[in-house]
Structure 1
């Protein structure tokens, strides 16, 4: 996906996540959207910093980098605790939505992995694929938070419980 697709995904994801974490639809829902918006957008844009240095879709598009971002909220709470979600969804879009894919195991391997039905970033279908992937991501998050929280690691359940009163403990 291109930068526009990643921003579209992050904005839609922030709006949807606000409703998933606080479905009341009142001011608190919009406050939740605002809380997750900037970190998710920053995370969604971060992996493409490797266009300025290194090797694009390799240097910052791999599992070790994702692990660093996933560990961040465990050790440091605060307003950037949602950056990992932006990074993760960036990877999901590049893996599922683009023909080229990403080098998940870089620097151990340069091989790029992609789903067979990805589209070119310049394709007329790129935005539609982005929206479809975003909808699936939100459905998965909603299912994990509201239907299957017992399958989440205890640290994640605790983090979600601190961020929403709706998670069953």
Structure 2
């Protein structure tokens, strides 16, 4: 995908994830004004980190090999671990991860997930050229799928609204 597609994806993710993290569909009361204030605050908190994370992998166009140098699992692991070490930049990893998904599912070329160990690029046959008239539609479809997955994780597996440091501490306490 191109920069426009990644920014569009990140904005829609911040909006959708804001709703997912703020409104519990089991207890939602549509006339409560404080819910909408909390929603606006959550979207504001999510927007910058997710957009920065979504744009970061394409920094490799200025150096290195595009869709290899910063489009791989070791880079994503660094962003997943960053909040554990420094207790900030929560949700940047979501921008990075969804950038990868959009490049693998939404575009024809794919990314080198295991670079530098392997230069092979992985993709799905669902992608379109970044200049295609269908690029925006593919971005909307991929974003909707990402939000469904994130909602499923948040509601049924683990809350995405807790810090990764707290999650790691709880996980290690269980072990």
Counterpart in 2 of 1:144?
153
* C-alpha distance in 2 between matches for 1:17 and 1:77: 20
Q: Could you list the runs of 5+ residues in structure 1 that have no partner in the other structure?
A: 160-169
Cα distance 1:147–1:157, how it changes in 2: closer, same or farther (>3 A)?
Answer: farther
What is the alpha-carbon distance in structure 2 between the residues aligned to residue 36 and residue 93 of structure 1? 19
Name the counterpart of 1:8. Answer: 8
Stretches of 4+ aligned residues off by more than 4 angstroms: 154-159
Q: How many residues align?
A: 156
**Greater Rg by CA:** 2
Is 2:34 aligned against 1:27?
no
CA contact (8 A) 1:149 1:157 kept: no
For each residue in 1:20-40, what CA deviation from the matched residue of structure 2 results, as whole angstroms up to 9, or x when unmatched? 000164101110000010010
TM-score, normalised with respect to structure 2? 0.83
Q: Quote the Cα distance in structure 2 between the aligned partners of 1:16 and 1:60.
A: 26
Cα distance per residue 1:116-148 (max 9 Å; x no partner): 121110011111111111111111111111133
Q: CA deviation at 1:109?
A: 1.1
Q: Residue 45 of structure 1: which of 45, 52, 55 is its match?
A: 55
Match of 1:74 among 72, 84, 88: 84
User: SS of the counterpart of 2:122?
Assistant: coil
1:125 is aligned, of 127, 134, 156, to 134
How many Å separate the matches in 2 of 1:57 and 1:42?
Answer: 17
**SS of the residue 2:10 aligns to:** helix
1:99 alignment counterpart: 108
Give the TM-score taking structure 1 as reference length. 0.86
Q: Is the 8 A contact 2:87 2:165 kept in 1?
A: no
Q: Tell me, which stretches of 5 or more residues in structure 2 are unaligned?
A: 29-34, 168-175
Structure 2 Cα separation of the partners of residues 125 and 147 of structure 1: 33
- d(CA) in 2 for partners of 1:65 and 1:149? 23
Q: Aligned in 2, Cα 1:155/1:32: closer, same or farther, shift over 3 Å?
A: closer
